[in-house]
Every structure is written in structure tokens, then in C-alpha cells.
Structure 1
Amino acid sequence: MFEKIYSPVQKLELLPFTNLFVKRDDLIDPYISGNKWRKLKYILLKAQKEHKTRLITFGGAYSNHLVATAAFASRSGLKSTAFVRGESVKNEMLMLCSLFGMELIFTDRESYKDKKRLFEKHFGDDEQAFFIDEGGASIEATIGCSEIINELAIHYDHIFCVAGTGTTAAGLLKGIQDHNLKSKLHIIPVLKGGSFIKDEIEKYTPLSEHLELHLDYHFGGYAKTTPELIEFIKLFTTNTGLLIDPIYTAKMFFSIIDLQKQNLIGANEKILAIHTGGLLGMFGMKDKF
């Protein structure tokens, strides 16, 4: 299950950049995609060590995390259950979850806010049940994400990553600190008012001068987009051949280009963008294209 992964670093031909590279975590697995694979790796090992047989997690109706957890469980001979935020619906993502054997419990938004209570109510007496927070947020997840830095063969002046919960960002920052790198870590929160990401990162690793948050590239907030961003995706993918999504990675690449236009990063500096995968989430916005 944890064999050597395929996540190459590829140079992106995109003017005016001369040293723009992409870490292709989106190629790790089609269903356990990108940072989801890294987040779940050590969580699953912990569950197996504790002899748990059912993974219990949480997410929205178009959650990449749910698909990844369902696939991970299926391949590992485990059962899985997800509390899905909102009313009962059918879509492509939940279809995949069901095909991987995941039980879906649709939950009203107020009840969903207290995930620990939901877990205790439904699985408190089940000694085989293992709690996984939304998005896989945990210390184990940060350890998995920190391994991205271990895999880099050269030094980069700037490393860019998008953030939802801040778990991947915390892992990257920890990796940079552990390796005593001088790289600047640029984090692009996808939620409006994303300054809280800094607090989330600090739960797992000390903040440092390496970290810089850019709060103006959320395009309205989580799972929000604009015609400008959709047009950017179409042009970017046509020109580079690299598929990006409107929820996460498009916002990151838009920020890189915009920051260069403002001369806040140099076109000739070595820049690495972490492609965190999650492309299946585009199904939730297919009407925008």
C-alpha cells in the first residue's frame, strides 16, 4: 500500500518564468490524490497499529478527502463511514465513495459542527471505529506532508501551496525547518478570511520567517469562483497542458503569476508549486465551464 510513489518535479514552460517547477502530487493516485495520500498515510498506519477495522470521517458532498478515505479503506481491507455535510444528494464523488464500500450518513449542518459528538453518538461503543477529522487534519497528516520536502533534489527560492485546513502547509513548514532551508513558503488560503490558517499551522509546528500567507486569492471563499478564475483555468491548461481545479490549485497558480506581475517574486527565481491533486472536485463546478 505504501510502495514508492510517483510524484515527479516537472518544469513548467510559462512566460515570463524561466525556473517554474511543479511537484506533481496529483500523479500519485487517481483517487487517493495528492496531499490526501500523504495525509492519510500515517493515519492509516496508526489505525492498523491500533487494530481498528472501520475508518470514520467527515466531509462535504464533493469532498476529495471522502473519496480518498474510501479508496484507502477498500484497498486495506477496512470498512469506512462518512458523515456527509448537508442534505441527501447523489453525485459523481459520492458514487465513487459508495463503489469503494463507504457508508454515507447525511448530516444537517448544525450537527455536523460537532464532529466528536457525532462520532460518539454513532460509534462510541464500537471499539473497532477510528476517528479521522475532516480533511485528515492531524499530527500524522503533517508528518506525511513534510515528506514532500525530503523528496526535493534542489533548493527553491519559493515554494507555493494552497491551503484549506492548513495541515499540508504545516507539514511543508516543518520540512523546511527540519532541513534548515532558506526557501520562502507561500501559502494561499482558499477560504475568505484565511488568516486563521496561521493559527492552524502553529498547532503543529512553530511559525517562522519562512512562512508568508497571501489572503487575497480566495475568489469569494471556499468552493467559490469567478468568471475571471474560470477563464484563467481554461487559458492556463490550454497553454501548459496541466489540469488545475477552481477550488484549490487554480487559485495558487493565479497567485504566482499575479505576485510576479507585482515584482514580489522574480521571474528568474527558482519557484516550486505543489500540485495537491483533488481534480475530481471539479465535478462540483462543471456548470461553470
Structure 2
Amino acid sequence: MDVQFPIYSPEHEIYDPLFEEKNLRVFIKRDDMIHPFISGNKWRKLKLHIEQAKSQGINQLVTFGGAWSNHILATAAAGAQFQLKTYAFIRGEEVSNPVLSMCKLFGMQLHFVDRESYRNKEALFQQAFPAQEAWFIDEGGRSDLGIEGCVSIYEELKNTYQHIILAAGTGTTAAGLLKAIQSQSNDTQLHVVPVLKLGDSLANDFKTWGLASKNLYLHADYHFGGYAKTKPELLAFIQSFVSKTGIMIEPVYTGKMMYGLYDLIKKDQFKPGSHILAIHTGGLTGFLGMYEQFGALPGI
């Protein structure tokens, strides 16, 4: 069975008086429009895993994540679409929420594990599936296959950009873009906004993947306290951006990335006349776990 489906991820220009003041043109690649649930970089990181599993006659995907994981939901939806069973180890105590309910709706089996056991994902997988009857996908889709799948983001671009910026968790998507940029031997600068503390450590991961630091800029000061952490200024920025552009972003990934982009522009980090592309990596269901925080904002 073919695991292709049409990719719709246009490049939209967005406008702001700040961009005009700094003589910059800013665009956003809408990977969030690829699929309602297998959106953004999730499909790109899963595609080659699904192809490999099906080619080897394996009919079950096994993966890992937290209770609000977009990757878990995307895996569940992809499994349903391509007739594969799905199973997920969920970090932490058993809970119920809208994301996990959707996963179950797509037919995914969920198994909650304590945080200590969760650290050894390979052991969990081998204990539950000793006969190699399932396909292992690491948390967030982190893998060489995931990196290769994300190369396609760059290959699809319709225009030329001096700068590309995106959020990073595992760094898989950023690694795919960096690999594509360096293979073309061009001068495009890749700006990565880690959403976890100690995001500078991603530089070592890129080295492990055989990628040079050329073309790479890590901006590790926009995590707002760590993964899924926020501050009032981030929430206010997201509300302003969404209301002015009609483009939905959320506090875990894309909100931090866009906040970082605006801040870098204010600080004159980009040469006038530059064209900048922001990658919308989807993950909009992340808003569901944090919507109450927006209730305290004026006008909401």
C-alpha cells in the first residue's frame, strides 16, 4: 500500500509594521496545513518509518511520549490511515485528556509507565514486543529516518530565503533542514529556537548526526522556563500574533519560535533586504493543555 498523501504546505507572506521598518520580508511555511492530526513535521518524521515497517511486513507501530504529545496523536492517526496498529508508552501517572481520547478513537493502545522506567525506552519496547513484531519509533520521531523525512521541507521551497527559523524539541526537523542546506552548499542561515532548557546541547546532537555547525545558529534564550513552560509576555505575544494574522500558533513550540523571530528582528539580527522563512511545525493541539492560561489575558 502506498503511504503517500497530498502535501499542502504553502509559503505565505506575513506583514507587520516592524518588518517594514527593518526592510525585511517574512514568510511562513504552513506545514500545519498538511493534515488535521498528522500535521507539521509529524508526518515528515513518520513517513519513512511507516514505509520501512510496511516493507518488512510489520503491522504495528510503537512509540513514546507525554500525555499531551502531538507525536503520539499523529502516530495514532497515521496508523489508522495506513492500516497499522499503534501502541504508545505514556510517561507518568495515568490521566485522561482530549489528546489521549483522540488517540484511543484512532485505535491506539496506551500504556502508562512511571518516569524512571520510561528512561529506558528500548527495554520497555523489548519487554512488551520480544518477537520483533512491532516497529520502534522514539519519542518525538527522533531518528535518522525522521531526519531524512524532514529534508523534504527544504526541497519543497518555492522561493529563496537568506534565513530559515524553526522551533526544536528533539532537533530532528532542524537536522533535516540543516542536512538539506549543507548538501546544497549555499549560504542560507538556519536559526533554531530550542523549546527546552539547555538548548545549546543540540549542537552536540547535530555533530553526532554528522552535521557541521556551518549555517547553524542556536537561539537558546526563548524557552520561557523550559518545555511547556510559559510566561505572561509569551501568552500576550501569541494572542496578538493570532489575532493579527489569523495563523494559529501555540505556547509549546511555534509560539516560542515566532516570539524569538520578532525579538531577533527588533535587535537587528537580520540584514535589511533579507527574506526570512518561519517553519510552522504544527502541533496545534498543544494549545488544549494550556488554554486556561490564556483566560487571564485582557480581552480573552
> TM-score over 0.5 for the alignment?
yes
The number of aligned residues is 288
Distance 1:51 1:202 in 2: 33
What amino acid is aligned across from residue 256 of structure 1 in structure 2?
L
Q: Is the deviation greater in 135-144 or in 258-267?
A: 258-267
Distance 1:267 1:243 in 2: 27
Mapped pair 1:29 → 2:31: no
Residues 60 and 86 of structure 1 are in contact (CA less than 8 Å); yes or no, is this contact kept in structure 2? yes
1:208 deviation in Å?
3.0
Aligned-pair identity (%) = 50
- The counterpart of 1:155, out of the listed 160, 170, 187, is 160
Tell me the residue number matched to 1:4.
6
Distance 1:164 1:143 in 2: 17
1:259 deviation in Å?
0.7
Tell me the residue number matched to 1:167.
172
1:4 deviation in Å?
2.8
- The counterpart of 1:249, out of the listed 242, 249, 254, is 254
Distance 1:34 1:184 in 2: 21
Mapped pair 1:194 → 2:196: no
Length-normalised TM-score, structure 2: 0.94
Residues 166 and 198 of structure 1 are in contact (CA less than 8 Å); yes or no, is this contact kept in structure 2? no
- The counterpart of 1:15, out of the listed 14, 17, 37, is 17
Length-normalised TM-score, structure 1: 0.97
1:267 deviation in Å?
5.4
Distance 2:177 2:277 in 1: 12
Residues 203 and 213 of structure 2 are in contact (CA less than 8 Å); yes or no, is this contact kept in structure 1? no
Tell me the residue number matched to 2:224.
219
1:223 deviation in Å?
0.6
Q: Once superposed, which parts of structure 1, at least 4 consecutive aligned residues long, lie more than 6 Å away?
A: none
Query: What are the ranges of 5 or more consecutive residues in structure 1 without an aligned counterpart?
Result: none
Aligned ranges 1:46-61 → 2 under 5 Å? 46-61=52-67
Q: Over the residues paired in the alignment, what is the CA RMSD in angstroms?
A: 1.0
Query: What are the ranges of 5 or more consecutive residues in structure 2 without an aligned counterpart?
Result: 295-300
Distance 2:191 2:268 in 1: 15
1:252 deviation in Å?
0.7
Please list the CA deviations of residues 188-225 of structure 1 after superposition, one character each: whole Å capped at 9, or x if unmatched.
00001111111222232322320000010000000100
Distance 2:272 2:233 in 1: 23
